[in-house]
């Protein structure tokens, strides 16, 4: 799958077919995750693959009532070796770089799963203490996310995304290019913007036309009635 199309068409999937994920696809996903960028190339991310259905159901019970997770045939718990990152970058490494590195790996997991015809979802709400205790995760290793993966049993619609011109600035925060859509050749978005701006004018014009049309019909009927009475 072409990269931009993969990014554009990826969706968060929360319903799965009861079909196992092939091991070779799991390996490809993990290999993609391991190739994510990391601070100083420390590669401090760690991955726990869960295929045991009982353990998957148990995890689902500790994810803020997201019980649909139990339907997934496979989970990947993404962790950060915080001790490793902290030893190189101190507190900033512990609090920021370890999270950034894991997030990069997570995005690779989501995109590679989609490219392989699978569905996945990024879960960040879970009982961290439970995961660490249940799966023997060391004290200096922190669970960052749970990724359910499987063949999708749904086809979610594309969600509305904010326009680039509302989130992109140039050279300083808040500096915008007025017609960014035109610059990016997104002329359809620029046309939509003008239509929305013109809506009040268009509505007013339509009302005037309706009023004049009613007036003309009324006068025409009155004229016809006069001719009939003559």
What are the per-10-residue average pLDDT scores of the chain (230 residues)? 92 96 98 98 98 97 97 98 97 97 98 98 98 97 98 90 84 84 63 63 65 68 64
Contact 149, 119 (CB under 8 A): yes
pLDDT at 153: 97
Token digits of residue 11? 């969706």
Q: Give the pLDDT of residue 177.
A: 79
pLDDT, residue 205, reads 67
Residue 221 has a pLDDT of 66
Report the pLDDT value the prediction gives residue 181, as an integer from 0 to 100. Answer: 67
Contact between residue 106 and residue 144 where contact means Cβ atoms under 8 Å apart: yes
> Considering the entire predicted model, what is its pTM?
0.78
Reduce the DSSP state of residue 148 to 3 states and report it.
strand
* CA-angle at 72, arms to 156 and 47, nearest 5°: 110
């Amino acid at each position: 799958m072409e990269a931009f199309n993969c990014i554009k068409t990826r969706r968060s999937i929360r319903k799965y077919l009861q079909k196992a994920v092939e091991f070779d696809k799991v390996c490809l996903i993990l290999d993609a995750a391991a190739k994510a960028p990391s601070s100083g190339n420390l590669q401090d991310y760690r991955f726990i693959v869960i295929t045991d259905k009982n353990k998957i159901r148990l995890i689902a019970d500790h994810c803020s009532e997201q019980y649909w997770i139990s339907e997934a045939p496979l989970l990947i718990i993404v962790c950060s070796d915080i001790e490793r990152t902290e030893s190189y970058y101190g507190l900033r490494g512990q609090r920021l770089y370890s999270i950034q590195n894991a997030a990069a790996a997570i995005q690779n997991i989501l995109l590679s799963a989609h490219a392989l015809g699978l569905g996945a979802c990024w879960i960040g709400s879970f009982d961290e203490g439970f995961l660490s205790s249940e799966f023997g995760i060391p004290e200096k290793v922190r669970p960052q996310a749970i990724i359910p993966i499987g063949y999708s049993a749904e086809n979610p619609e594309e969600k509305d995304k904010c326009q680039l011109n509302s989130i992109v600035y140039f050279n300083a925060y808040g500096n915008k290019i007025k017609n960014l859509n035109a610059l990016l050749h997104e002329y359809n978005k620029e046309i939509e913007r003008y239509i929305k701006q013109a809506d009040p004018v268009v509505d007013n014009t339509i009302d005037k036309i309706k009023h004049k049309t009613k007036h003309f019909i009324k006068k025409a009927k009155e004229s016809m009635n006069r001719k009939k009475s003559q």
